[in-house]
Amino acid sequence: MKRHWVFAIAVPCLVSLSSLLAGTAQAACVDNVVLVHGNAGKPADFNNTYAELQFRGYTAAQIFRPDWGSKTCAACNDHNGSEETPVENAIIDAIATSCTGKIDVIGHSMGATLSARVIDRIAARTYVDAFVGIAGAFRGLWTCGSYPFNVITSTCGYWGLSVGSPLLNGLSGKRFGTRMYSMKSWTDQVVCATGVCTVGGIHSSQIAGETASYSFATGHFGLLTGTAVFQADRIR
């Protein structure tokens, strides 16, 4: 009987503690965050960042992870049409439910340029506090060629990442948030695949007019998975 009595007391205590912690998390008012994965990727690619944000008190309802694009044909994906829709919906929903009236956006690889494209197209810039582009190709990929020459896939075409593409020219000089940060690597297997990381003497992952740019001694995917704490620090 005594063991049952202790258990009966302990359970309400645990429930009360759980409720208290949940209430505390719900009470924390921070910008909603949108995490946008790269080409042919998946929301789980941001699992480390997601876990870090939750460790800092963000609730699941404050973190949006849209799933976009084909998973079997990376070369078919671009920055126009169906690829935009999940990202646009996530950004709109994040803004609509943000207790601060602002959001933060972190995009990896093509997810960085895709989220920038959506923010620009729907005129959401004034609602974005911090924009973080990780291993993006804001100035183009030499593996895609120089527009309009040798452009053979959607990913590299008019709405793609060829150097000088109409998409990238249209984004150049635009703002995607109050603060804009780029995270880059000089050994990036995608952005620097030809051995050249720069376009016009500037690393392709850098954003025109950015607040700051940071270099890491890691690869294209390590920039995402190994920098969760750094990412979270940029949006606080």
Give just the sign of the alpha carbon dihedral 161, 163, 169, 175.
positive
Average pLDDT value for the chain: 91
- Between residues 19 and 214, the one the model is more confident about: 214
Q: How many domains does the chain have?
A: 1
Residue 22 forms part of a structural domain: no
- Report the predicted TM-score, pTM, of the whole model to 2 decimal places: 0.89
Residues 2 and 32: their CA atoms lie apart, in Å, by 47
Question: What's the average model confidence in pLDDT over 82-110?
Answer: 98
Longest alpha-carbon distance in the chain = 82
Domain annotation covers residue 2: no
- pLDDT for 140 equals 98
Summarize pLDDT for 153-169 with one digit per residue, the tens. Answer: 999 999 999 999 999 99
Mean pLDDT across 121-126: 98
Residue 150 — very low, low, confident or very high, per pLDDT cuts 50/70/90?
confident
Residue 40 placed within a domain: yes
Distance CA 4, CA 236 (A): 46
Statement: residue 12 has pLDDT above 90: no
Domain-located, residue 5: no
- The answer to whether position 115 is within a domain reads yes
Q: Return the percentage of the chain with pLDDT > 70, whole number.
A: 89
Answer yes or no: are the C-beta atoms of 204 and 139 closer than 8 Å.
yes
DSSP character at residue 90: H
**Could you tell me the pLDDT band of residue 151, with boundaries at 50, 70 and 90?**
confident
Asked whether residue 51 carries a pLDDT value surpassing 50, the answer given is yes
- 1 within some domain: no
Size of the chain, expressed as the number of residues it contains: 236
pLDDT digits (tens, 9 = 90+) for 181-211: 999 999 999 999 999 999 999 999 999 999 9
The answer to whether residue 133 is domain-embedded is yes
pLDDT for 9 equals 29
Buried b (16+ CB within 10 A) or exposed e, 191-215: bbeeeebebeeebbbbbeebeebbe
What domain range includes position 73? Answer: 29-234
What's phi and psi for 230, nearest 5 deg? Answer: -65, -40
> Tell me, what CATH number does 85's domain have?
3.40.50.1820
Q: Is the dihedral of CA 53, 57, 60, 64 positive or negative?
A: negative
Structural domain contains residue 207? yes
Number of helices (H) and strands (E), helices first, in the chain? Answer: 7, 10
Count of CB atoms situated within 10 Å of the CB of 128: 25
